[in-house]
Copies of this chain bind each other. A is one copy, B any other.
Amino acid sequence: MNREQLYQKIQERKSFLCVGLDPDMDKIPPFLKNLENPIWAFNKAIIDATKPYCVAYKPNFAFYEAYGKMGYEALEKTIHYIGNEHFIIADAKRGDIGNTSKMYAKAAFEVLGADAITVAPYMGKDSVTPFLSYENKWIIVLGLTSNKGSEDFQFIKSEDYKPLYQQVIEKVASWTSPNNTMFVIGATHPESFIEIRKLIPDHFLLVPGVGEQGGELESVIKYGRNNQIGLLINSSRGILYASKEKDFDKQAAIQSKKIQEIMAQYI
């Protein structure tokens, strides 16, 4: 999916919500656990319930890898089932030397069919750019993350007093284009969006950390949006685990609709 197509979906659905698909066997409704593949059954119901309210899905690969073959099968089916009407983010935080990043790209884009993959920047240019050899496929590079640990390295100031996360954003932006690159910026640092928008006014930002992790939806929109919205705001646990009962999918729909309605005011 290219940038114009993504923006069109945002306008049509009046939403820039990304639903994070982090299926945890300890949290999914107990009545699903006897099924052959509970994770796939859970995801299918969540997708059916939430698809009118979101423009993107973000399967978090750890939550599939942790369940071995069953998890891998659920991941394949999930991405296939989502189809072309939503932007699909392989949330995998990959990144390695060139020939290895190329293989991770193949796994996410060719084998699984995602539109984008999250990428860790620590290993630099030749670990990031091999993902960009596919047309209309995206990288989403870690800029400023939502977790407490983001303070450990991302705010380290260099000799010219610029925090590491800003240097990462500037350098990665100089190697790539807003048409194939986004950045992960956690909702837990809303004030940082002002500085970040000075560096990259045109890029889309993937924003985790709203809800469970404490980030506030409206301040992110206020400080983060640009003239094409430029935001994909993720919610995972608040939608997936709104209920543990038979109505879990209805509750997921209600939670995602609630977010969508706030977003609609800004479109």
Residues of A participating in the B interface, judged by any CB pair closer than 8 Å: 22, 24, 60, 62-63, 65-69, 72, 76, 93-101, 103-104, 106-107, 110-112, 120-128, 142, 145-154, 156-159, 161, 164, 167-168, 171, 208, 213
Contact = CB atoms under 8 A, between A and B. Distances in A.
A159 B161 CA distance: 7
A86 to B, nearest CB: 21
A151 B152 CA distance: 20
B148 A124 contact: yes
A23 to B, nearest CB: 10
A113 B66 CA distance: 12
A147 B97 contact: yes
A168 B145 contact: no
A149 B167 contact: no
B97 A126 contact: no
Q: How many copies does the complex hold?
A: 2
Contacts of A103: 24, 60, 62-63, 65-66
Given A62-B107, A72-B69, A145 B123 contact: yes
20 contacts: A62-B96, A62-B103, A65-B107, A66-B103, A67-B111, A68-B111, A93-B94, A95-B120, A97-B145, A97-B146, A97-B147, A98-B147, A121-B122, A122-B122, A123-B147, A124-B153, A126-B147, A156-B158, A156-B167, A159-B161
Contact of A72 (B66, B72, B149, B161): B72
A170 to B, nearest CB: 11
A126 B128 CA distance: 23
A154 B67 contact: no
A153 B126 contact: no
- List the 5 closest pairs (A to B, CB-CB), nearest first: A124-B149, A124-B152, A62-B103, A65-B107, A126-B149
Contact of A127 (B123, B149, B213): B149
Contacts of A156: 156, 158, 164, 167
A153 B127 contact: no
A153 B62 contact: no
Nearest to A60: B100
